[in-house]
Chains A and B, each alone.
Chain A
Amino acid sequence: MIHRYVLAGSALLLATAALAASPIAERQAIMKSFGGATKPLAAMMKGEKPFSLDEVKKSLAVYAEGNAKFVTLFPAGSDKGEKTEASPKIWNDAAGFKAANEKFKTEIAAAEASIKDEASFKATIPALLKNCGACHESYRLKD
């Protein structure tokens, strides 16, 4: 009798977990938001768009928010399932992956503090954006 309750309870739990957004979908949504946040920065870097401190701050805020959550979205077992390009290295080299996220976090904070005008923006952003490729090179599979 007790067993039956436990079984029903576990089934319910599993169903609830499946209803919540999967970590794979969530982390992909964060990466997509980073792409959207980078677009205006790159346009300003290239001079295709006038510099706007407000917009820069907005993009940096997107990075900061996504970055804080990102590392938590790789629970054991989320290396497969839906379509994911996450490299097995995220789990095999968890310390390195965490360090890459920390590095980005530190540099976002530094950029938030130092960018005050177009000159400081142009001096800071290229190095900040190097984090994207550096992390993808190691922890994302090519597709």
Chain B
Amino acid sequence: MRRLISSLFIAAVLGTAAFFISTHPKAYSALRGDNAFEPTRARDLENGKTLFNAGGCASCHAKPDDESRTTLSGGKPLVTPFGIFNPPNISPDPKDGIGQWTEAQFIRAMREGVSPEGKHYYPAFPYTSYRGLSPDDVADLFAYLKTLPAAEGKALIHDLAFPYSIRQGVGLWKLLYLNGTVMSADATQSLEWNRGRYLVETAGHCAECHSPRNALGAIISDKRFSGGPNPEGKGRAPNLTQDKTGLAAWSEDDIVTLLKDGFTPDYDSVGGSMAEVVHNTAALSDQDRQAMAIYLKSLAPIEGEARAPK
């Protein structure tokens, strides 16, 4: 009996130690991290601004009712089935924002989901998509963010249900689901297609809402883009693949119009968070919107869960 208790105790200690080691932010960095950033070119603010718009940073981080969408002191809470996430201040404020961050820290935050203090971010911050951005592009974004107004204000801490409230647990999730590689070009495809894929899959993080997720909250990879439940409650984010429940009947132009003006082919105007997304995509260039449309039109059809009839 005593033996059983002591072996259980040892197992518990070892288990806890294994959990802490494997889920430690340093473990992920060591296994998949890509910390050696050598800039390959001078910083490009215009490109940083494009990434800012493509990445939709303002949608979560801009102060509510800030019409300029450039005061990034933290946006409205994100209410999800896992709990409430409060987007932090990413303005250049030295105390509450990212004013004191180094470029390397910012790149690590965006691509590995780790804060400068070495804590995991929750994947509500879509580093699962941003990890595919090239470090040079992320550095451009950082340079652009630094040009925006500094604003004070610290976000409330997240209010999450157990077990999601155990932040270190995110480490395990990352080892399972986060692939730390930069999106590389597919030489068999056109330049436009590659540009579109880069925007849709990394900065645009479209799949984050438009895909179903498993019980652990990770995207089911063979159902990617086939539509998903609205992460903030009611309704569904529609299927973006070439299935008949998706965009099969949409032309490239139809997709471009939606990204620019928010109108579907029936001239219904999108609502809720997609209207918010359109603010971002409307600020992109025509070529970038066209590239996104070319890539989306190339997605193999996957049958999605049907949307409730109107």
Contact = CB atoms under 8 A, between A and B. Distances in A.
Given A35-B267, A142-B270, A136 B275 contact: yes
Interface in A93-131: 129
Interface residues of B, number: 26
Interface residues of A, number: 22
A68 interface: no
Contact of A35 (B233, B268, B271, B275): B268
A23 interface: no
A129 B275 CA distance: 13
Contacts of A36: 267
B184 interface: no
A133 B273 CA distance: 11
A94 to B, nearest CB: 18
24 contacts: A34-B267, A35-B266, A42-B261, A83-B308, A83-B309, A129-B261, A129-B263, A134-B275, A136-B262, A136-B270, A136-B275, A137-B275, A140-B272, A140-B275, A142-B230, A142-B234, A142-B237, A142-B272, A142-B274, A143-B230, A143-B236, A143-B271, A143-B307, A143-B308
Interface of A: 28, 31, 34-36, 38-39, 42, 83, 85, 87, 129, 132-134, 136-137, 139-143
A65 B12 CA distance: 71
Main secondary structure of the interface of A (DSSP, over half): helix
Contacts of B235: 85, 141-143
Among A38, A42, A136, A139, the one with the most B-chain Cβ atoms within 10 Å of its Cβ is A136
Contacts of A136: 262, 269-272, 275
A85 B257 contact: no
- Of A34, A85, A140, A143, most buried by chain B (CB within 10 Å of CB) is A143
A62 to B, nearest CB: 12
B58 to A, nearest CB: 13
A39 B308 contact: no
Contacts of B270: 133, 136, 142
A28 B268 CA distance: 11
